[in-house]
Chains A and B, each alone.
Chain A
């Protein structure tokens, strides 16, 4: 009897431990049904309910939830009347039966998620990752995003996860999530923890949180908390301000590098031949188009190399416009060397021609550029100072162009000839420099540099036939300020104008910044009619 009772008890015990698991197990079909066809409120409730069940669910269920949820969030869950499919490699997997199909059924479509639903789903899916994922890096990513909003995720769950989290970085990320809970708790120890966490990550968002906390407390805080809050506040504020200034400087640098790239070729040509090439901006455009052609060609010929298309395109983006430049020099510019004002008009006509040739042959639409994974988004240096990869790339190209041009001009025979011709055309001719050839080569070189600018700009601006027109006046101004043909002068002028622009624009708007910069430049030319670095030699 006794043994029987024990057996029964054991059995019950086993059942007791077993039954709740069974009860908490997730009704997959029901869930998919609601996600596919439920109304907004039902869906939102289902997220919260599911979250409470996931913790206690068995491993396969957890994996199932995580995979289906992320497919759902990405818009990759394709619903039919009975079930739903998610992509699995080339094929699709039926999320209820696990069987695979090669193509989606005709009636399958991804349910639309509006912003509030996505806002509700986002934290839930992150919380699921935190609960389920064994990878610290994945959990860190999930925790990072949670600090913006907890949504329906119960704070208690986060506190529980925080308590059991082994990874220090994930813990500190979770602290950011818990800040709001801690501050509101009224417990000085929790508040201290929160303030420390806020001070550890001095972003503007945290600054706002701190300010609100201090303003809202109105003397109800314990003195130690208040002192800590004030100290943290001033520290965070200072850091945010410092990062703001760096941001502006960086924006100036990146805009300056765009200006520099656009103006460099112009400066070389102007310095050598006294010719202002109004078609220079169109060489920028051609460079961007060549880049696009390289990208399209790679898609067909070598899809594996597509990620590197930007670098593969460098020689083409240089040579394409350079070739057009040679043709233009040969056909138009060389006839006009002693009539610079007419060259202005002739090159304007060429620019009109180039724009329209591209317009009728390729079309007016913006070209679509593939952005490799490594160029997407960017990284935060500290506080609010963030750097985007595309801008960094343009700065890199500007630096490359600067170094390359200096090298060509000062370390090659071609450069020597260019400098000699720039300084004294007749004398150079006398000592055997073929000034004709030098002109032609230099024109090609300057055009090629513009092509590199086009390459660098293709991931920042839209690429279409008229993309150059917005650049041309700005780049002239840079050349004029920099001084005739001075590469360094061009760099300094571009940087200066870029910075000036970046400082004025947030304050007074884009129109005002352009106007102020131009007026400043006009006044500057009064003082230094030959630019920052006036040419030395005899002319």
Chain B
């Protein structure tokens, strides 16, 4: 514990997380290691960093109930520093040196792509908690979140319906990388094939990752909206800190959700933390979990997170919970269930135990894996920004949807 107090003294409370990795190896007979690959520094730190603690929390829960196959879970944390090749490097370290049984990690597609060869070459497992562009199905990745067909299209369908405001014109604004581009390609195909909408009804713009000045682009959205009588919407696929920057400018230029609603596909509760959401009320997002999801299970999860944060001095807000957190939490539990079912930590055996695994997710749905692919079946929520920096639920799918990794619209 002296080490811990030393770290505290230099004001590095977060580093305490790595302490078990050093203190505990002697127990390794009774423990099983899992790895975390989430950045706590660099551009992604604000949203990604909290997932480290979620893994810890889930492991703690499982350990309290006797662990997995009688072994306690030991979480090994790293910090790839938002540097994509470093994810691969540290993934290699986790798998080959720490011999972790499974890894939970990555937010951006770029980081996942860097880890992919590593897990494939070592036949290890990566639990990936984010929704992404799809078009990938590795036997070594468990996709905890939804591919676009089940995470994006329901929200668009809603916005294009009478109930959602009959959107017919689309301004696509994204960060310039694969996820936004693929999503937008799929959407264009969807509009053309399903609605017969012509290409002059949309406009596409990309900004560099981390772009902050949205003045000209928000003005361009205004122009776009005024150029025709039909209802326009913005399909927003910018990521990271570009999201609050965009909304700040949207507020400043006085565009309301009644004029041009924004469907923010990567917008989570945490992105609204620094914003006055009063003028943003009504903008939408679409995830497999929202903090306001109804039900006892969600309440339990929120309470567990709040008390975990308070007990462990976690540098994140106790009252904010976002989809990737729940996806990560699900991932740890589903991995433990698969290992229990397989009776082993060996990856091929754990993998063959996947089909039929079902977990009572805080979102209220019983999420499951089938033999078709490694995508988890999740429910879908459409959320609408409210005044309290959160999302009201506008619509939710009656049950879990079948994930479609490869889109028919490309």
Contact = CB atoms under 8 A, between A and B. Distances in A.
Given A368-B274, A463-B274, A464-B46, A208 B226 contact: yes
Nearest to A462: B244
Given A115-B165, A386-B253, A462-B241, A391 B45 contact: no
Interface in B267-308: 270, 273-276, 279, 281-282
Contact of A461 (B43, B212, B222, B316): B212
B323 interface: no
Contacts of B249: 460
A251 B176 CA distance: 22
Contacts of B252: 377-378, 388-391, 460
Contacts of B212: 461-462, 467, 470
B261 A116 contact: no
Contact of B229 (A212, A356, A386): A212
Contacts of A461: 212-213, 245, 248
Contact of B274 (A115, A251, A366, A389): A366
A359 B45 contact: yes
Contacts of A75: 281, 386-387
Interface in A96-112: 112
A337 interface: no
Q: Which label, helix, strand, loop or mixed, suits the secondary structure of the B interface?
A: loop
Contacts of B49: 364
Contacts of B43: 466
Interface in B134-182: 162-165, 176
Nearest to A498: B213
Contact of B210 (A364, A388, A470): A470
A175 to B, nearest CB: 19
A266 to B, nearest CB: 18
A115 B258 contact: yes
Interface string A285-314: 000000000000000000000000000000
Interface in A308-342: none
Given A208-B226, A386-B253, A510-B207, A505 B316 contact: no
B117 interface: no
A148 interface: yes
A193 interface: no
B241 A464 contact: yes
Contact of B163 (A116, A366, A367): A116
Interface in A376-392: 376-378, 384, 386, 388-391
Nearest to B220: A506
A207 to B, nearest CB: 8
B13 interface: yes
Contact of B42 (A207, A368, A466, A511): A466
The 5 lowest CB-CB distance pairs between A and B, nearest first, are: A366-B274, A204-B226, A364-B46, A510-B207, A364-B45
28 contacts: A75-B281, A75-B387, A114-B394, A115-B164, A115-B261, A116-B165, A118-B257, A118-B282, A119-B258, A208-B228, A248-B216, A251-B216, A254-B215, A255-B213, A360-B14, A363-B315, A364-B40, A365-B273, A366-B274, A366-B275, A368-B274, A371-B276, A377-B252, A388-B253, A470-B210, A506-B217, A510-B205, A510-B206
